[in-house]
Structure 1
Amino acid sequence: MADEAKLKLALVGCGGIARAHWYGIQHFAPRIEVSAVVDVNEEAAKTFAEHVGAKPYTSLERCLYEADLDALDLMLPHHLHEWGASACFRAKKHVLLEKPIAMDVSTAERILKGAKEAGIKLMVAEQAQYWMDVVKTRQLIDAGAIGDVITARACFYDPLKPFDSDNLPWRFHLSKAGGGISIDGGAHWIRPMRMMLGEIDEVVAATTRHIPEMEGESVAQAVLRFDSGVIGTFQAVQSTGALGPIEDFRITGKSGEIVIERGREGRLMLYNEANPQGQNVMSAFESKAASYGVELADFADHVLDDKPLAAPPEYALGELRTAIAMYRSVRTKRWEKVW
């Protein structure tokens, strides 16, 4: 409807993720109107503002004071999440905060508490919550399509983007990222494991570094023990070379398997007695491509209509706690509890 209520949103941070969010807004979130963009790099702010048709700012505080907006989409380095969220809370603006919610649990809990005390709506952006192949996998498991689950595997291979060695990405610095691939992109693979198999109870992990400029781990291997007793594995690699074929997820049950294939041609495949050669259940790519926009549409509905989110902000503690437990395990060389 032409007169449907719109959420006036500021995009804070004008890097690659902001472009993904803008694409999602254009195609899947019609109730959002981008009224401002913010970046400390003036040229980046101006260029992106021209692209989206919004007003540029180089100061978050000035944007909060001057701009006509209801909410902010905070796409900031991890160490700035509490600072940015707190500024929005003081201004009584709703917040969409990129994952991870924070670099440590105490900071995350302060952010959650701050949102409640300010009476504003907070959402932690984790687009994997909207991967429909993952949602369908949980439905197949619950329907008994592969029998009782006995083990599972998640494989996250993230190709390293070119970088300037004289101006390293903020993700390369532990003080800004809080860790390496596990706490960052690895969250997109830990969330689906939790969605499909339930909460993770404890982990044992090993990590290594093969990118000298990157302070955090670029390779991680972990064994996950779920509350159900199921044992799974999580592998994350910041890849620097050609990659062979591998699935994103493999769930093995007593009577079959579910495989979520990797890549644009990836499929959700079901193997069981009725489908020994595999049934192509659905595309494993289409909903991933749409997930940023669907995520933003969910946030808009939550703010405008008070509709419950697909996952409350507290749920994001699971990925953070899992990564932190992995880091503890690396130091102690033993199983570590997630909760």
Structure 2
Amino acid sequence: MSKIKVAVIGCGAIAQRRHIPEYEANPHVELVAFADPVIERAQKYAEKHGALAFADYRELLKEVKVDAVSVCTPNALHAPVAIAAANAGAHVLVEKPMAATAEEGRAMIEAAQQNGVYLMVGHNQRLMPPHAKAKEILDSGRLGKVISFRTSFGHPGPERWSVDGKDSWFFRKDEAIMGAMGDLGVHKSDLIRYLLSDEVADVAGFVNTLHKEGTDVDDNATCLLRMKSGTIGTLVASWTYYKGEDNSTVLWCENGVMKVGTHPDDQVIVELRNGTVERYKVGAIATNEKQTSSGVIDTFVNSIVTQTPPSISGEEGLRSLEVILAAFESQATGKVISL
């Protein structure tokens, strides 16, 4: 079959480190256009691929007929760009958090449905081998019911990651909308929903700016979650883990405990109440320091090639976003928010 014509909108760190290289490695894809307000960034990749470069994504969508688009812009633009791409008849892969508000998220889902295109959200944690293994073990029933959990994602902050360093859009509230929670927390709300095959019922959150200077976006959050099944746990997101990244999840179950991402070599450890310990070396979780393939691009492309709706759909992205939005509401009101 002919190749899928893909445009990448937003050529910052996530596009440079994940989307573009993973598209380049996928045999079904032809990269045909790039857009970035800093036109030089788009031009660099356009030259490499014999593609077109645009400063404005609207021009790109008007001038070039594309089959699919990766939306790698600042958070505030996710919804407008995704909706414009869907209206141009393109399948859409949008970075997380999918939108700034639940209303925007619903509008994106609607635009995709009306135009008969797929909308997928880049929640790569589901696809990482340790999490796939953890899901398999949980689904086998060997551990029994999950009683409580903690899931956490922290690193030193986007100044180490973003192409603009300390001047990154991540720190500008009008563009970022939210800080560590939108960057990292939403990954973990998505992961815990996926692992437990359960929805979040209630959220209490402390979401604050504790240490990053000159910004009013959150750099730390600790949330209490109660799932519909009654399972309770904590979700932590931080941009101030200055001495090493944490991307771990621990699940305390009826028959033992499962630790994911707590050990450098054994990515999944199961300690059963009968004394047996199982250790699984299944490949690392991708981190900022160590970029492994996220699997997101291949999954998106595979959806298009096989005409199968993506499992990490707009609806899934919206449910994970709503958990994060509830944490902000809890911080603002001092109340527990029911979803």
Q: Same fold (TM over 0.5)?
A: yes
Counterpart among 11, 19, 31 of residue 21 in structure 1:
19
The whole-number CA distance in structure 2 between the counterparts of 1:136 and 1:287 is 15
Contact 1:247 1:259 in 2 (8 A): no
Q: How does 1:1-339 map to 2 (within 5 A)?
A: 4-19=1-16, 20-27=18-25, 29-160=26-157, 161-162=159-160, 168-197=167-196, 198-209=198-209, 210-239=211-240, 241-243=242-244, 248-262=248-262, 265=265, 267-273=267-273, 276=276, 278-285=277-284, 290-292=292-294, 294-338=295-339
Shift of 1:118: 2.1
Shift of 1:164: 10
Task: State TM-score, norm by structure 1.
Answer: 0.89
Measured against aligned partners, the alpha-carbon deviations of 1:103-123 in whole angstroms (never above 9, x if no partner) come to 111111111112212222222
Change (3 A) 1:240 1:104: same
Instruction: Describe the SS at the equivalent of 1:139.
Output: helix
Measured against aligned partners, the alpha-carbon deviations of 1:84-136 in whole angstroms (never above 9, x if no partner) come to 12322332222111111211111111111122122222222211221232222
Which range moves more in the overlay, 138-147 or 99-108? 138-147
The whole-number CA distance in structure 1 between the counterparts of 2:111 and 2:143 is 43
The whole-number CA distance in structure 2 between the counterparts of 1:166 and 1:141 is 39
AA aligned to 2:280 is V
Measured against aligned partners, the alpha-carbon deviations of 1:288-318 in whole angstroms (never above 9, x if no partner) come to 75553x2212222222331231222211112
5+ unaligned residues in a row in structure 2: which ranges?
none
Residue identity over aligned pairs, in percent, reads: 24
Root mean square deviation of aligned Cα: 2.4
Change (3 A) 1:191 1:116: same
Instruction: Describe the SS at the equivalent of 1:186.
Output: helix
Q: How many residues align?
A: 331
Change (3 A) 1:82 1:202: same
The whole-number CA distance in structure 1 between the counterparts of 2:168 and 2:181 is 17
Structure whose residues are more often strand by fraction: 1
The whole-number CA distance in structure 1 between the counterparts of 2:165 and 2:133 is 45
Change (3 A) 1:68 1:247: closer
The whole-number CA distance in structure 2 between the counterparts of 1:190 and 1:239 is 19
Instruction: Describe the SS at the equivalent of 1:308.
Output: coil
Instruction: Describe the SS at the equivalent of 1:283.
Output: coil
Shift of 1:43: 1.4
5+ unaligned residues in a row in structure 1: which ranges?
none
Task: State TM-score, norm by structure 2.
Answer: 0.89
Shift of 1:52: 4.5
AA aligned to 2:271 is Y
AA aligned to 1:38 is A
Contact 2:170 2:179 in 1 (8 A): yes
Shift of 1:275: 5.4
The whole-number CA distance in structure 2 between the counterparts of 1:164 and 1:59 is 19
Contact 1:134 1:195 in 2 (8 A): no
